[in-house]
Amino acid sequence: MSTPFNTKCMLYLTSVLILSCMKFVLATNFYRDFDILWGNGRGNILNNGKVLMLSLDESSGSGIQSKRAYMFSRIDMQIKLISGNSAGTVTTFYVASEGDKRDEIDIEFLGNLTGDPYTVHTNIYTKGKGDREQQFRLWFDPTTSFHTYTITWNPFMIAIYVDGTPIRVFKNMESSGVPYINELPMKVYASLWNADQWATRGGAIKTNWTEAPFITWFRNFKARGCVWMNGESTCNSGSSKSINQDWYKQKELDLSRNEMLKLVQHKHMVYNYCNDFNRFPLGLPQECH
């Protein structure tokens, strides 16, 4: 016969085991991690929370927002983009704070005609100011299978990766007077919407609504970060393991990834604001130097 003490121990161990299993099973769960922000039924969570589908038709697109906010994070999302004619559409995956003086790290996929490549449009906002666009052509077809897109944001640098390959780095240059993202917590967003006034060839190619609904798929969301709780980052409170992880301590790319970054920017970058002298006739932004 079990004593009350042994019974309590068994119940505790059982509950720990159940919680551990739940953590494993629920590692990726859009029900748990996100709210459908808009779309009136055009965003759907499927397969017991493992898959997200966002759709766009002539009436509306759709979007989601993470339940948690982060002050520094590594965010991974696997995405399969709209196949066929996606001209005029924009699929987004980004992190952003709230308010007019928002901070934001953007990845936007600009659709195109069938057979033409997507353009990956990136931008970084600090204190409500963006204008830091870099654009790339993907070196694979992002519509036939899922690929992993990553945003890493720590006290030293911001980096954007595609399947583990860095495509963009923005370092903390506050010591030189360049604002950095380190004051406001940011949530994770994904959306699908129509922007045919500018998205494809500067708006020359419009969305073909006869091919709607347009659908983008998301899965395997992972967030390793400093969660914002009760007005404080868990990293500051000492209750987070994130501060001991490589992504948090990284001050620059290692040699091999730096070579990968140079190669991608040489072969696949199609626009860099730091080379646009017409846009900045009074001088390029300070970080470009």
Catalytic residues, by residue number, are 104, 108
Q: Pick from 106, 114, 110: which is nearest to 133 by CA? A: 106
Q: Find where tokens 């990136």 sit.
A: 122
Spatial contact of 43 and 54, defined as CB atoms under 8 Å apart = yes
CB 122, CB 106: distance < 8 Å: yes
Residues 32, 188 contacting (CB under 8 angstroms): no
**Residue 207: CB partners within 8 Å, gap ≥ 6?**
87, 88, 89, 194, 196
Q: For the residues of 117-177, what is the DSSP string, one character each? A: PPEEEEEEEBTTB----EEEE-SS-TTSS-EEEEEEE-SSEEEEEETTEEEEEEE--GGGT
Q: Which residues neighbour 263 within 8 Å (Cβ) at sequence distance 6 or greater?
A: none
Q: What is the rounded (10 degree) CA torsion for 34, 37, 39, 40?
A: 90
Collapsing DSSP states into helix, strand and coil, what is residue 78?
A: strand
Return d(Cα 177, Cα 289) in angstroms, integer: 12
- What is d(CA 191, CA 37) in angstroms, rounded to the nearest whole number? 9
